[in-house]
Amino acid sequence: MTIKVPGRLHPADLARTAGVGLRTRRTRSALSALGIAIGVAAMVAVLGLSASSQAGLLAEIDKLGTNLLKVAPGQTLGGGDAKLPMQAPGMIARIGPVEMVEHTGKTAVNAYRSPYIPSFNTNALTVNAVSLNLPAAVRTTVAQGRYLNAATAEQPVAVLGSAAAARLGIAKIHAGARIWVGGQWFYVAGVLNPATLTPEIDSSVLVGYPAAQKYLHFDGHPSMVYVRAQTDQVQHVQKVLAATANPQAASEVSVSRPSAALVARAAAQSALNGLFLGLGAVALLVGGIGVANTMVISVLERRSEIGLRRALGATKGTIRLQFFAEAILLAALGGALGVALGVLATTIYAHLKGWATVVPLLAWGGGLGAAIAIGAVAGLLPALRAARMQPTEALRTI
């Protein structure tokens, strides 16, 4: 006599059987899957938004150029404020790979909307003497009006940075518009667009060097020199800038690269994503507990089914695999929904910000994998409990 060993469930039959178990308890299954989905969506959205924002920032930096260097005075050996020589811009311009040199000089006066504004209400504005091709060097343009030229640079005429215009309450340039600078009226010729790489320009009132020396008692020393170098020679130029700007005291000169600072800022912002990833992980863990709860209750409610299947020849392994597959399927559905929600949130926000939508493989792949892993762990104990249930014990509930 041949004894026929009960066959194992075919993968398609296993998936169908697991699906039936979830469909019979739709509300409970949906709520458990929602917990998983929220956790995965949070993780995908955090990583996706971080990657998209960094991609947007890097694209903006590439557009503005990574070859801008800033030269500023540092500290003297005695701890005082150093000064750049008046000849510094001209000496820097002699460096071979340097393409453009523009500069500003900070004055000791303040700017106000009118002479009736209290002197202490400076709005954190600075008044700077500027060279005539500064917008081209810092990659900004004129939003309203006109920039300074050779004629207006000698007259009491000013151009406002974007933030300076807002703080002074000047929304639109009109004929005769003027502000109170250093104890006298200066006419407003124009307003600049934001300068991403040089935010100090945004909060500045800009006047010509001759006008600053004539009307504001400016000493003529530049306080910031903006240098555009050949892109492949930036590192070499950076090394010689300090000694070129001030050969007598190179240690009193500070040289920086704004694009590198922005990249570092993006990295610092991405480091803060750990907090949000932690919150997403907590939500995912709570979702896993929900899956475990659903499966435990499912085992208790389906004792009659388990007993009947065992009586008809189903092995412990088959029962164990069935409930294990249900838990994984439930978590996978929640994970897939979470990935979809996270990608959707990333796409919408990136579109509003004008960024390219970037969802790293780690975001959606890791989120879905984590959901399945959580489901497997959460379903393991209920599956083992169902498999250990004896047919006679289970059938008593029929």
Taking the C-alpha atoms of residue 144 and residue 201, their distance in angstroms, rounded to an integer, is: 16
Count of helices and strands (H, E) across the chain = 14, 11
Q: pLDDT, tens digit, for every residue of 304-321?
A: 666 666 666 667 777 778
3-state secondary structure of 354: coil
CA dist list (Å): 234 to 197, 200, 242, 301? 16, 22, 14, 71
Give the Cα-Cα-Cα angle 170, 154, 138 (nearest 5 degrees): 60
Q: pLDDT, tens digit, for every residue of 202-243?
A: 999 999 999 999 999 999 999 999 999 998 898 899 999 999
Phi, psi of 253 (to 5 degrees): -120, 135
Contact (Cβ atoms closer than 8 angstroms) between residue 200 and residue 170: no
Where would I find the H helices in 65-188?
88-93, 134-138, 162-167
pTM value surpassing 0.75:
no
Higher pLDDT, 195 or 49: 195
